[in-house]
Every structure is written in C-alpha cells, then in structure tokens.
Amino acid sequence: MAAVFALSAVFTACKKKEESSNGGDNQPPTCTITNPKDNTEIGMDKNISVTVDAEDDDGKVVEVQLFLDDVGHSVKTEFPYHFTIEAGTLQVGSHTLKAVAKDDQNAKTEATVAIIITQSGENKAPTCTITNPQNNAEYSTDENVPITVVAEDTDGYIVEIQLYVDNVGHSSTTSFPYNFTINSGELSVGTHTLRAVAKDNAGGNGESTVTITIKQPTESPDFVSFSNGNIPSTWQTTAWYVDNSVGYDDNYSLKASVANVAVITSKTATSAISGIEFYVRSGSVTFFIDGEKMLECSSDNNWKKYSVFLTEGLHTLKWESSSNSVNIDAIRFKKMNYFVVGMPYQGGIIAYVDDSGEHGLIAAPYDQSEGIQWYNGSNINTGAIGTAMGAGKNNTEKIVQAQGAGNYAAKICDDLTIDGYSDWFLPSKDELYELYKNRDKIGGFDVSLDYLYYWSSSEDSNDTAWCQDFSDGNQYHGTKRSTFRVRAVRAF
C-alpha cells in the first residue's frame, strides 16, 4: 500500500510540474463584446454586426469563436474580430451571443450579451439633423456653404445620406463623417432650402431641413481697389506695394498690349503663411505668381473669389487680359493669412483647416506613443463623450481631471511641449478622422501595417472609447485597456 501511495504521489507531482511548464502560470486572455451592446433591439430583417475585443498580455490570441444561443456560429483567427450574422438567422425574441477567446496556451475567456430580435417591418427610422449651417444662416455668393449632417440608427446602420437643394438632388455620401460643400457661385441670390435624408439598411428614412439666404458680398474696407495702380498707404507699409516701374495704359485697363499691367511684390512676410484672394467681377484675367501662371479667372458681373497660397518670402504678382473689358476697379485683393493642410506651423503640421480658412488643427509631427492604454488602470466614466470637431480639448481636460497623474493616452498629450507650444490634446473621434483623411500630407503614419489603430479622446462607455484604424479608415469601440498609438493635436 505504501509503494502504491508513493507512486501516486510522484505521478501527481510530475503532472503538476508538466502543467506548470505548459502554462500553469499563464494568464488567460481578455474578451469583450463591444458591439452590439447588451439588450440591443434588432429587426429580424437586419444583419447583425458583432465586434469582439480580445487581447493576451503574456502570449497571443489564436482564435475567437462566436456562439449563438450556445451553438457555434463562426471563428476568427486574426484581428479585428468582426462577425456578421445574416438577417433572418434568429427568430423573434431574446437570444444570447457568446464570444470565447483562446490564447496560445489554450486558456479561454468568454463574454456574453443578450440581444432582442423584433419582427421585420418594425424598423425604427434613423435620426437625421443638419447641425451646420444653422437655420436662416446667411452666406454671400463668393462663399462656400459647408454642411454637416449627424445621423444615427439605433436598430441598424446608416447606408447613405442624400443632400437636396431646393428639392433637387445635389450630392450623397455613404461614409462618416457626413459632410457636404456647396461651392461659391452655385446658388443664386435669395432664399434656398437644404434637406438631408438619412437612409438605413432596412429602407427607413429620416430627414432634416434648414433654410439659408444667399446675398451679394459686402465690399468690406479690407478689400483694396487697384484703381490707377495704387494701393492704400497702410498696405504699402505692411505687406504689399505696387512696383511703379511697370507701365500702365492710359485707361488703366488690362490689355494684351501691356502684359505686366502691375507688379505687386510682397515685402517681408509677417507670418509663415500668407496668401491673396482674387475678387473678379467682369471679364477674364490670367494671374501669374513669380512668372508662373496660377489662375485663370472669369466672371459675368457677379463677384467670384479665387485664392492662391504663398510661402514665406518675396513674390511677384502680375495679371494680364486679352480684352479691353476688364477694368482694374473690377479686380480686388484681400490680404490674408492662408493655411494649407500639410504645412509646418507652430510646432507641428497643419492637419485640418475650417471653412473660414483661418482656424483648424495642428498635428504633432510624430506619434507620442506606439502603444498606450486609454485608461489609467481602472474603468471609470470620465464624461469625455464629445465626438465632434472642437471637442478634443475639453475631452482631454475631463479625462485628465478624472484619471489624475499617470501614463495614459490623454495625459501624455496634455503633458506634451513642442517648440514651446504646450496646449496639445488627444483628438476627438471626428478630429481624429480628419487626421486619417489627411494622413499622407501630415506624414509619420506607417500605413503599410495591416492594423494601425490610434486612440481618440471620445469615450463610448465605462470600458470602451473610440479608436481610428489608419490603414482602412474604419472607427471602432476599443476597450480602454487596449494599447493603441497616439498622435496629439492643438488648435489654431
């Protein structure tokens, strides 16, 4: 009996040792179903999109398996773990989705959510709101009209946003963010109706309407008329002056016989970025910058605006026309700061310019981290729920206030100083999308990687926040403990 007992003891010890060598100290993977949320209602005629977040700190996740009511549905072996359940697969009523993540040591972790399938035909129409422009907003004929639409669908997803101008189709988009532009000169003077229609995957529609008024542009004092080849003295002492060594014809008209009607040279630039706007009201004119043809402008008694970017330094402007019908009085110039995406400015690279042309976002010239968590060790609601343009700075302040000192995404942005600028922040969901759209001009993004995830400052829930894949443009809910890249921004 003693011998048998001893043998049993040795066998047990060896078995425990073998388990330890094969991962007895292995930490199981994490697993979270980030979409759909628990108790989401979904029509039975809709496809169900399932997103699972799974990670393994001491190894790797080898597969994630999805179960429907404890019956295996499908398996994914590579990130991202996205599944689609075809419409009609589940009957009306409550069902359970279970995801099981398995690591390379065969340890498993699971996550479960409940969904409620409703009858077909019970589709909830999407919501749709034109957030910009405001109702009764006014624009001049020489201004672009930027349009922003916010649309959501609680029991499916948005497939298209259509824009109508005076009940005539103008344009459409299928990708977020839902932005449109009506170019200057497209709309006549008067009142116009803008209508946005959001369509969901089940054919449901939601719409929003605003009215805008188009007016003739007001000739403000900072427009300068070059009558008689002169510029006001205030301009001559700041940035521009006329080179009077170039001749003018007797009628001060632009004629082919006098190619260089006037030459305007930039003096010492007052900022790193500048430019000029051309306002043309009649006839056709060709403009040259430093001898290179830049613009061919024409108009028919309505003001039209043309813009040219100029780098810092000295530049020469000339104009010419092949007809006698263009008077110098009909061409006006406006001195301005002119910002362009991709230009170095105030510690970084301009990543976005708003419709005023004077404000926007500057991206840091490099990543602040190649992998850092959103949270500071525990999941809490920070209140940083803003997703729109302009929300990132306020989000970052809320995150840092709620999570305190530490090493996490928002904090490293808040602590950043580049070239003396210290007002950096973690971009919001929409701000981060602008960085994605302009990633080639900003630079520093390794788009050759299969997955290139960056954190936004927009919180989605207690344990998730929005992130942006810079390889394919998709935005996802990421668990806050995930380690993604960070690129800080600042406003100007």
pLDDT band at 335 (very low <50, low <70, confident <90, very high): very low
Residue 385: C-alpha distances to residues 351, 380, 465 (Å): 22, 13, 9
pLDDT tens readout for residues 345-399: 889 999 998 877 778 999 999 999 999 999 999 999 999 999 999 999 999 999 9
Indicate if the pLDDT at residue 324 is higher than 60.
Answer: no
Fold of 224-336: Jelly Rolls (2.60.120)
DSSP letters along 319-350, please? Answer: EE-SSS--BGGGEEEEEE----TT-EETTEEE
Lowest mean pLDDT among 17-26, 38-47, 62-71: 17-26
What is the percent of the chain with per-residue pLDDT over 70, rounded to a whole number? 70
Greater confidence (22 vs 4) lies with 22
Are 224-336 and 348-491 equal in CATH topology? Answer: no
pLDDT tens readout for residues 157-178: 888 999 999 999 999 988 777 8
Ramachandran angles phi, psi of 38, nearest 5°: -60, 135
What pLDDT is attached to residue 315? Answer: 56
- Rounded to whole angstroms, how far apart are CA atoms 233 and 182? 37
pLDDT band at 205 (very low <50, low <70, confident <90, very high): very high
- Rounded to whole angstroms, how far apart are CA atoms 417 and 324? 56
pLDDT band at 455 (very low <50, low <70, confident <90, very high): very high
Within 10 angstroms of residue 325's Cβ, the number of other Cβ atoms is 13
Indicate if the pLDDT at residue 194 is higher than 90.
Answer: yes
Indicate if the pLDDT at residue 10 is higher than 70.
Answer: no
What pLDDT is attached to residue 246? Answer: 37
Fold of 127-215: Immunoglobulin-like (2.60.40)
Residue 325: C-alpha distances to residues 256, 301, 302 (Å): 11, 12, 15
Residue 492: C-alpha distances to residues 132, 141, 243, 272, 421 (Å): 21, 27, 34, 14, 11
pLDDT band at 263 (very low <50, low <70, confident <90, very high): very low
What pLDDT is attached to residue 197? Answer: 96
What pLDDT is attached to residue 309? Answer: 58
CB neighbours of 35 closer than 8 A, spacing ≥ 6?
A: 49, 50, 51, 477
What pLDDT is attached to residue 310? Answer: 57
Q: Where are the domains of the chain?
A: 30-118, 127-215, 224-336, 348-491
Mean pLDDT of the chain: 76
Domain 30-118, CATH: 2.60.40.10
pLDDT band at 340 (very low <50, low <70, confident <90, very high): confident
* H or E segment and range at residue 3: helix 2-19
pLDDT band at 431 (very low <50, low <70, confident <90, very high): very high
Helix, coil or strand: residue 38: coil
- Overall average pLDDT of the 261-278 stretch: 41
Lowest mean pLDDT among 129-143, 198-212, 414-428: 129-143
Lowest mean pLDDT among 262-271, 294-303, 476-485: 262-271
Helix, strand, coil percentages, rounded to 5, for the chain: 15, 45, 40
What pLDDT is attached to residue 95? Answer: 93
* H or E segment and range at residue 110: strand 108-118
Lowest mean pLDDT among 10-14, 212-216, 218-222: 10-14
> Contact at 8 Å (CB) between 293 and 286?
yes
- Overall average pLDDT of the 329-344 stretch: 57
What pLDDT is attached to residue 37? Answer: 86
What pLDDT is attached to residue 124? Answer: 80
How, if at all, do strands 40-43 and 127-132 pair?
unpaired
pTM above 0.75, yes or no: no
> Contact at 8 Å (CB) between 128 and 175?
no
The correct answer on CATH 3.30.70 for the domain covering 348-491 is no
Indicate if the pLDDT at residue 430 is higher than 50.
Answer: yes
- Overall average pLDDT of the 244-266 stretch: 33
Indicate if the pLDDT at residue 117 is higher than 90.
Answer: no
